[in-house]
Structure 1
Amino acid sequence: MPIDFPPVTRTLLIANVAIFLLQQVFPDPMLIYFALWPLGSIDLQQGGSIGFEIWQLVTYGFLHGGWDHLLFNMLALWMFGGAIENLFGSRPFAFYYLACVVGAAIAQLMVIHLITGDYYPTLGASGGVFGLLLAFGMMFPHQRIMLLFPPIPMPAWVFVTGYGLIELFLGVTGSQEG
């Protein structure tokens, strides 16, 4: 029996995988033109420059840094996206997901500009995924989620809070770049 995903969740899963496969064929152009670059630009040694473009506020959310990055983001999209799309409806879900991707991009640009001053690209669906985690934790706080390692069941609100705190710690301490 086939698994029936809601349409936007299914489309996002397919789009992320397809674009990741394109990245494998055209790695440099995909990174240069579609990753989220900090405000401003830098000159390349071989001529030309790279820098922020407005479309990158969305396109970075469909690029990934490797198979594991793609796998974990798509696992979370698969686990939580369908439930949130069924609750919100397809059109509000699509708007919410894209608003989370754009909101995360703006937050990333602010952090890079105001705190680190570094110049590196950002990519991945994590902004949208964290929005889904937040929505799931708020809408289904007592839903049980089973961790893989170690196999411990916990309420969704505990999982979402713990995951968010771990990511915040890793980001603030520089333990996890990007």
Structure 2
Amino acid sequence: MYNLDPVTIAIIAANVIMSIKGFDDRVFFEKYKFNVGSITRGEQIRMFSSGFLHVDTTHLLFNMFTLYFFANPVILELGQLNFIIIYIASLVFGNLLSLYFHKDEFWYSAVGASGAVTGILYAAILLQPEMSLYMFFIPIPIPGYIFGIGYLLYSIYGMKKRIGNIGHDAHFGGAVGGYAVTLILMPSLFKTDLGHIGLLAIPIIILFILYKTGKLH
């Protein structure tokens, strides 16, 4: 089990506080969720605030559980400041991609830290591809890159089925954000671990192809 870094604790606390407030206060939730129509009218705060709201407790716990496992490797390798940069960049880039994908759907709404968390997940796996995870009901360790690919494939399912009021499209943008920013911050990875860089790029490319061919919706 990890000892959580203060930065991770602060991010989890912000998500919990904002989400609980949103559970109990529908006006608050509606004011700060991602909504294409509202954003195009100038409410840019939603691009950031929506990343700290969640549909329900299960959605919140899943994202925070994932962040818990993957935050420390990024902080240990790159430091607190770069961790924050990756988290915020992934959150914003995920929402920018959602805005682009749904620019003509003014009613489209979504919430969740999934974009930011997926960015951290991809960053951690790039930095420590040898990591292994033990998941529920699976008695053998799962390589981190397998978990990362599986997490992103789940986003494809979510996008196709439009499951809940969740920013599944932001998973794609978040992964790209975390992937790109990590490689910018540590370009030496191209020399030391080109194989995993290529492997983790595959689901991103698949998602892009599915979108361009109209098979996501």
TM-score band by shorter chain is 0.7 to 0.9
1:21 to 1:106, Cα distance in 2 relative to 1, 3 A: same
Partner of 1:47: none
Do residues 132 (structure 1) and 130 (structure 2) align?
A: no
Q: Distance in 2 between matches of 1:16 and 1:39?
A: 24
Aligned counterparts of 1:156 and 1:80: Cα–Cα separation in 2: 9
Partner residue, 1:17: 16
3-state SS in 2 of match to 1:166: helix
In structure 2, what is the Cα distance between the partners aligned to 1:30 and 1:152?
Answer: 43
Q: Which residue of 2 aligns with 1:163?
A: 151
Query: Is contact 2:73-2:128 (8 Å) kept?
Result: no
Moved more, 117-126 or 102-111: 117-126
- Classify the secondary structure of the residue corresponding to 2:35: coil
For residues 93-108 of structure 1, the aligned pairs below 5 Å read: 93-108=83-98
Q: Aligned pair 1:37/2:25, yes or no?
A: no
Deviation at 1:51, TM superposition (A): 6.1
Number of corresponding residues: 164
Q: State the shift of 1:121 in Å.
A: 1.6
Structure 2 runs not aligned, ≥5 long: 167-217
Query: Could you tell me the TM-score, scaled by structure 1's length?
Result: 0.82
Choose from 132, 136, 139 the match for 1:144. Answer: 132
Q: Which moved more, 1:84-93 or 1:56-65?
A: 84-93
Aligned residue in 1 for 2:100:
110
Secondary structure of the residue aligned to 1:17 is helix
Structure 1 runs (4+) greater than 4 angstroms displaced: none
Q: Unmatched 5+ residue regions in structure 1? A: 42-49
| Structure-2 residue corresponding to 1:5 | 4
**SS state of the match for residue 136, structure 2?**
coil
Which piece of structure 1 moves more, 14-23 or 60-69?
14-23
Q: 1:174 — aligned with what? A: 161
TM-score for both structures, normalised by structure 2: 0.69
Q: CA deviation at 1:23?
A: 1.6
Distance 2:157 2:18 in 1: 30
Whether 1:61 and 2:51 are equivalent positions in the alignment is: yes
2: CA distance, partners of 1:136 / 1:96 = 11
- Specify which structure has the higher proportion of helix: 2
Matches within 5 A, 1:66-105: 66-105=56-95
Secondary structure (helix, strand or coil) at the match of 1:58 reads helix
Letter paired with 1:38: V
Distance 1:96 1:138 in 2: 13
Q: Is the 8 A contact 2:129 2:144 kept in 1?
A: yes
**Using the alignment, how far apart are the partners of 1:52 and 1:174 within structure 2?**
29
Give the Cα–Cα distance (whole angstroms) in 2 for the partners of residues 124 and 62 of structure 1: 6
**Distance between the aligned counterparts of 2:127 and 2:100, measured in 1?**
29
Cα distance in structure 1, aligned partners of 2:3 and 2:135: 24
3-state SS in 2 of match to 1:131: helix
Q: CA RMSD in A?
A: 2.1
